[in-house]
């Protein structure tokens, strides 16, 4: 363990140099430390350590603890506990553990407070494994864990994303003769909430009365948030409505989680209803409330309502933030109101809000959809001037804008700029570049490059018998099918001719994963079916899955033996990309 530092100035114990100006806690710490130094009374030292911990001055707490050693006596367990707690509050879990080890060397036996403070320090430091190790060592040290020990362990697991381990600890409390309390259950519910395990979160919430534990605000809020993350908006609203009957007053967190649940569920009307209900419930909406409501309107295509909410934010004495502006700009983008989107973007600095990449990207996408490719490029150039680094989404929207305007050379220049900006082209970037350059021969080079970059790592399914076109644009999907027919399918046919059972399938999806390439839905599937028809390859839509094409292999032994993707694609007079753009 590192040695405890000796203070360099025994008059002030080296504290004043790191004082937080205007802090009453800190002034008290300095006063108590000086008093302890004069009297040599450990109780005074301990009070000074506690004051330092409250002020989050862990270095000063260690110096005071070290000063106790200079008085030729070992610090008591109480002084050690105060120092361990101070280090934990200062997010110095390593120092907390070092103090635990030091206690044994000076015959100051750690007690339940010592271990609980150490576990809590690990929890605050994100070290859930170490927290569990300390908890497991308590019985061997003759220390009986208490609710605080278990609660700190459960919270550590919650912060570490280990919901199963959090529930395991919760289940072990009765066996250790420790009664779970509100904090125990709330931490367990929060652990489930963070991993989207909303059913388990609701189960824990329902078990609280049986354990004679009354659910509180934190418990309900964690349950509502779990439902929100799990997409269960109806259940989120049900919990919100149950709070008053349970004697629990909803707070902004409760309503915000409910509004966000409605937003994710596509229920913008219900989201607005909750927003309007907040004042009636004596709950003041905050920026999160309005931003969630605006996002709900954006997803619902209600750009006018989104702008109305944005205009109401100042009247509610709430400061608009990046999320509220960006969501409003996105709403205008989806509504085809690119001029309004640009106006909002221009108003952000005047409102004291710094535009971020999301704000600019929404504006660029709005210009792209409005056919204003010059303005889209202007916004891209302004990002650097505003100190905002463009990302793949920024470039993809500009590439698509140029492609729609049939300026494919400029689109490819933008695509080349991606790597120049130390960005890795993704599926959207490649798709937009291929669509923009279609049907020029360069699309084959782009597709080959995309394959080398493993842009679609899960494209081949079932050992090559299936082709997954999720995250493909229309143009890249056509090239992918052509490549698959030429390079992969012949090997599958060889297996079929050996009398092995084999079926070929093309997964076109039904539009959810192709949002960047509108129109989506069945258009990509139509283009793929047209390509297969041109090659005399029968196919049909799966009766239970409209996003799945089944290819007919009967008589196909020689049908694909002459497939050459480049030759056939170049000779194809149709332009599926332009046709469905």
| Residue pair 374/364 in contact by the 8 Å Cβ criterion | no
pLDDT at 45: 75
Determine the Cα–Cα distance for residues 346 and 331; give it in Å rounded to an integer.
16
Q: How far is CA 177 from the centre of its chain?
A: 37
Asked, as a colleague might, if the bond just before 464 is cis with ω within 30 of 0, I would say no
pLDDT tens-digit profile of 429-478? 999 999 999 989 999 999 999 999 999 999 999 888 899 999 999 999 99
Dump pLDDT digits (tens) for 275-322: 999 999 999 999 999 999 999 999 999 999 999 999 999 988 999 999
> Which pLDDT score is estimated for 337?
95
Which pLDDT does position 76 carry in this prediction? 82
Assigned token pair, 210: 């049986």
- Single pTM value for the model: 0.76
Q: Name the DSSP letter for residue 486.
A: I
pLDDT at 518: 45
Residue of 226, 230, 280, 213 lying closest to 250 (CA atoms)? 280
Residue 480 confidence (pLDDT): 95
pLDDT means over runs of 10, the chain (581 residues): 35 40 55 62 78 82 77 78 90 90 82 93 93 92 93 94 93 91 93 90 92 92 93 94 94 96 95 96 95 95 95 91 95 94 95 94 94 95 91 92 92 90 90 92 94 94 90 93 91 64 81 46 80 89 89 59 44 46 38
Neighbours of 396 (CB within 10 A): 29
Task: Name the architecture of domain 456-579.
Answer: 2-Layer Sandwich (3.30)
pLDDT of residue 421: 83
Please provide residue 377's backbone torsions phi and psi, each rounded to the nearest 5 degrees.
-70, -35
Give phi and psi for 541, each to the nearest 5: -80, 135
For residues 546 and 71, what is the distance between their CA atoms, to the nearest angstrom?
A: 81
Residue 420: its pLDDT value, please?
82
What is the C-alpha separation between 64 and 75, in angstroms, rounded? 10
Collapsed DSSP state (helix, strand, coil) of residue 359: helix
- CA 95 – CA 99 distance, rounded (Å): 6
């Amino acid at each position: 363990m590192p040695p405890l530092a000796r203070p360099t100035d025994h008059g002030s114990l080296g504290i004043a140099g790191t004082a937080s100006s205007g802090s009453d806690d800190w002034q008290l710490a300095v006063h108590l430390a000086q008093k302890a130094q004069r009297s040599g009374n450990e109780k005074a030292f301990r009070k000074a350590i506690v004051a330092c911990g409250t002020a989050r001055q862990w270095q000063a707490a260690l110096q005071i603890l070290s000063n106790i050693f200079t008085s030729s006596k070992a610090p008591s367990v109480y002084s050690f506990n105060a120092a361990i707690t101070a280090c934990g509050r200062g997010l110095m879990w390593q120092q907390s553990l070092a103090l635990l080890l030091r206690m044994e060397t000076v015959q100051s036996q750690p007690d339940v407070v010592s271990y609980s403070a150490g576990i809590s320090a690990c929890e605050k430091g994100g070290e859930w494994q170490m927290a569990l190790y300390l908890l497991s060592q308590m019985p061997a040290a003759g220390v009986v864990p208490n609710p605080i020990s278990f609660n700190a362990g459960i919270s550590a697991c919650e912060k570490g994303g280990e919901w199963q381990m959090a529930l395991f600890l919760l289940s072990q409390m009765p066996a250790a003769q420790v009664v779970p309390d509100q904090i125990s259950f709330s931490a367990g519910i929060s652990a489930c909430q963070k991993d989207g395990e909303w059913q388990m979160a609701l189960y824990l919430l329902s078990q609280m009365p049986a354990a004679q534990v009354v659910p509180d605000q934190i418990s309900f809020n964690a349950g509502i948030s779990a439902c929100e993350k799990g997409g269960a908006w109806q259940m989120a609203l049900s919990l919100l409505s149950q709070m008053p009957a349970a004697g629990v007053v909803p707070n902004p967190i409760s309503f915000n989680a409910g509004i966000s649940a409605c937003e994710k569920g596509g229920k913008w009307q219900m989201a607005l209803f909750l927003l309007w209900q907040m004042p009636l419930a004596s709950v003041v909406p905050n920026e999160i409330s309005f931003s969630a409501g605006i996002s709900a309107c954006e997803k619902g295509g209600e750009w006018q309502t989104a702008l109305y909410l944005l205009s109401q934010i100042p009247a509610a004495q709430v400061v608009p933030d990046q999320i509220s502006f960006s969501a409003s700009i996105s709403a205008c983008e989806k509504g085809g109101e690119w001029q309004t989107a640009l106006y909002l973007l221009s108003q952000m600095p005047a409102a004291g809000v710094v535009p971020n990449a999301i704000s600019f990207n929404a504006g660029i996408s709005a210009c792209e959809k409005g056919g204003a490719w010059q303005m889209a490029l202007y916004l891209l150039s302004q990002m650097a001037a505003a100190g905002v680094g463009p990302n793949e989404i920024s470039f993809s929207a500009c590439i698509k804008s140029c492609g729609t305007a049939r300026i494919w050379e400029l689109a490819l220049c933008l695509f080349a700029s991606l790597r120049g900006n130390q960005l890795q082209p993704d599926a959207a970037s490649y798709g937009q570049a291929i669509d923009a350059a279609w049907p020029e021969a360069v699309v084959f080079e782009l597709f080959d490059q995309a394959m080398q970059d493993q842009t679609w790592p899960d494209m081949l399914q079932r050992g090559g018998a299936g082709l997954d076109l999720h995250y493909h644009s229309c143009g890249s999907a056509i090239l992918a099918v052509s490549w698959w027919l030429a390079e992969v399918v012949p090997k599958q046919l060889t297996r079929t001719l050996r009398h092995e059972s084999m079926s070929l399938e093309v997964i076109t999806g039904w539009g959810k994963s192709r949002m960047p390439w509108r129109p989506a839905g069945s258009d990509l599937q139509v283009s793929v079916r047209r390509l297969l028809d041109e090659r005399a390859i029968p196919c049909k839509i799966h009766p239970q899955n409209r996003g799945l094409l089944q290819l007919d292999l009967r008589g196909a032994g020689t049908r694909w033996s002459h497939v050459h993707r480049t030759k056939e694609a170049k000779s194809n007079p149709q332009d599926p990309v332009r046709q469905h753009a």
